Structure 1
């Protein structure tokens, strides 16, 4: 087992009991919906064992606390909070994108309807702040403020993402700004919140936040590649899922800005209103490759991980903490789902 797998497994083992305790605070119906979404039960509430996801965000929170104090537990409320915020965003994201499947299961809105998905997501967001308010740390208020700001940025990114669906003139800089909010903000606070709760100096907190934000950009770049070329058996989403939705993702937007003739052909394809056939989707994917968007996104993800590692170095952490966080960064660009 690699260091990264051990780190993620340990994080799940520490966070799962605290996450379940938090979810127990919800009313019975919302608790059922959330338990289903988290893979703890089926639609009737019968316990199941399902894919819990990568749990990257809580792992970052615990590692940050451990880097500062030598123990992960000061970061546990932060780890639970960021996982709750992440799942709030997933519930709403599935609804907005009309995705009917996540991790090879039906999504909440597809089972119970739009309103239930909205309310369950709202409940998780409220619960995240409740967990931080209850944290046995003099820095709980500072952690709560950091999560609130990150959530606002996440929502800003989602607003831009939705707006881009109605536009054919989205530039790369706009798309990068959207990704910094939608994905970078929450990973940034995930990497910093354990250090905040542990009372770390501001310089360490700032460096860890920058580490997480750059990691978030790498994560989004790889996510965008998987949304076009990922294996449905691994990602749990249809092949070419982002192209079916004609999303202005980073490799697509780079291709439109810098891809020459293939980029212009791609722009014309995106303006079509008819539902694309399988052959047309394959053609669009080839256009992105010919325009250089696929290679650029992979290289940019690696560059962002390099910037994340530079921020880690500037944080002045010991070698073990830096290596564990660095391993998670490389996991992000090597993952297949």
Structure 2
């Protein structure tokens, strides 16, 4: 079928400190063939939506921060929603819609198609598969239900509560009969938490001089479950306010990602005194639960019992700015980049 243009977003070099748009380069001269070589077992996809996620910042370092590091000079990699253009794999055929990991470019060859999920439900927005029906949704589900095992009437605190994961955790908590409070960084986001997502209370952490006092105000009897997205001083304040046998699900610590030296937490003995359990997790270890999760959440979406907010950026060329905006709180909800409409 011949070569076609394949614009890419390339990582210039490993990043130190706060990332900049100039750390990523638009490569408009790349090309690709829209037909896979004979005998290939790969899948060729046309990318429709890109997912911007905080963990991607860690992959921009030489060590990867616990993840596989990205390669300078090569396209950035992340979660996408895409359409199959050609397939050498028996599980996928031309025209299938999928979500999974691919490169930030117009067309991607996925050499490990077992990492792709075929989209079965197309009566919901396709972009949802970057969020509520993709990695973010699974993260909220695994952390809240599988790790924290909520009980009706418990008190739940969610940091970065208006983000891709936090907005769902709060709604899951309310559906479970819990009291839930969230923190966010703007008045607009605080209003969303209370008026759209059903949080019982919410506060702007930037306006609080004393996080410990703020948490005591909203949780006079203490916190049973903390969904950890932030780390640092927020985690330290939470530990002082946890109840006996409290549970913490740690899915991220965005306050630490751009620091040369991470902040310490000074009250870790409270894990002993309060018999706390904190478990970090990577959602990729739990994708076997995806069918169970979609069976639960898709009816909730269709019945209007759960909502999801997206912050949509148009154009692959604007993806670097969209990604960097996560670290200053510019996004409201799940940050999505539209590469192409189906």
Shorter-chain TM-score category? under 0.3
TM-score (norm 2): 0.24
Higher helix share: 1
State TM-score, norm by structure 1: 0.25
Give the strand-richer structure, 1 or 2: 2
